[in-house]
Amino acid sequence: MTQQHTRHRRFALAGLALSVVIGLGACSSGSDTPAGNQNSGTGGGHGAPAGAKIIAQPAAGAKDVAPGEPVKVSVTDGTIQTVTLTNAEGKQVQGQLTEDKRTWNTAEPLGYGKTYTWNGTAIGGDGQPVQLSGSFDTVTPRKQLHGQLNVGDNQTYGIAMPIALTFPSKVTDKAAVEKALTVETTPKTEGSWAWLEGDTSVHWRPKEYYKPETQVKVTAKLYGVKMGDGVYGKEDVSASFKIGRSQIVKGNTQTHRMQVIRDGQQVADYPVSYGLDSDPGRVTNSGTHIVMSKHATYSMSNPRYNYTDVNVPWAVRISNNGEFIHGLAASMWAQGKKNISHGCLNLSPKNAKEYYDGVLPGDPVEIEGSTQKLGPEDGDYADWTYSWEDWTAKSALKNS
């Protein structure tokens, strides 16, 4: 799979959840009411115009500010005249003022281990200027983590394709990471994130299979996100892809058949030899598998059963526990009659090639009839082994 990485950012969004009222020493225009308690002159108090109140986030004096949080200046009882945020080298951070001139937001991220200085002026309802000033420091991470997506730009996937974001080590603050993740779909598709595999991977899957031709965009704004224990996100990643036609494989280990249903119509019915039913180590698991990859040839090895480097044609991986759909001329005598494989679905080379040519990563393969069931422990793409209730229960946000 390919993925699109945003370029490594020189700067990162900053901000602890800190705010402070700065520069409250504006004149009171003759009122005895303290500046911090004045109103805008529309009811209450003496009706006198109030001095501007500037709130900066992060506040002046803040330390170890976490990049990835909002960086902004807001004003009550007045409007912003100027705002600058400057790094230690004198470069100004790009920002944008709202139309009502009451809020200024950064338009680019800040950097790790940097000192930034606020400067600016607001004018209050009393006509008096209030100054913004002060500096804050962003954090120097103990470690930065990079996330890798399993999907890539401009690719086409099947209707069961999960989105997986995987990290090289465990994420402690899973909720903070999940807040930085978005999935946009057209048409709108209900889905949820779930943390799997020892908290090193978070997956998104729809509640039901995607509708064909759905457009999907996943964005992981990880840079500057505090992941826990001094660990922060290294860079953002994103990908835009689409879902292709609907194709579902339905297999039954007892009938020794495999049907291919494309856009609601059966287009193939192949004789198959599944895994040997009498051996739990060889049986093909029942449950919803997902096509993970395909290979024109693949070398099969299973030391437990005394075979290595057996090359098979037109191999389609449907789990990480050794299950494939592939061609095998040597088992054609059993295909459609008897299960003798080591867990794979054996087809004739001709039928395997025909299936191989039309398959997409993310196609579901629904198998029934065997004594063993596919479970969450059976590989990276066991997402559909969970009920929707169990799946959503693994979201860090929905259960925080």
> Which are the catalytic amino acids?
326, 344
**Dist. CA 110–CA 161, nearest whole Å:** 35
The pair phi, psi for residue 23, each rounded to 5°, is 75, 50
Strand partners, 310: 300
Decide: residue 224, CB within 10 A, 0-12 exposed, 13-18 middle, 19+ buried. Answer: buried
Q: Which of 149, 157, 176 is nearest to 238 (CA)?
A: 149
The pair phi, psi for residue 353, each rounded to 5°, is -65, -40
278: Cβ–Cβ under 8 A, 6 or more apart, which residues?
Answer: none
Q: Which residue has the tokens 């390919």?
A: 2
Structure tokens at 46: 């003496």
Q: Which residue has the tokens 């400057």?
A: 86
**Dist. CA 94–CA 84, nearest whole Å:** 8
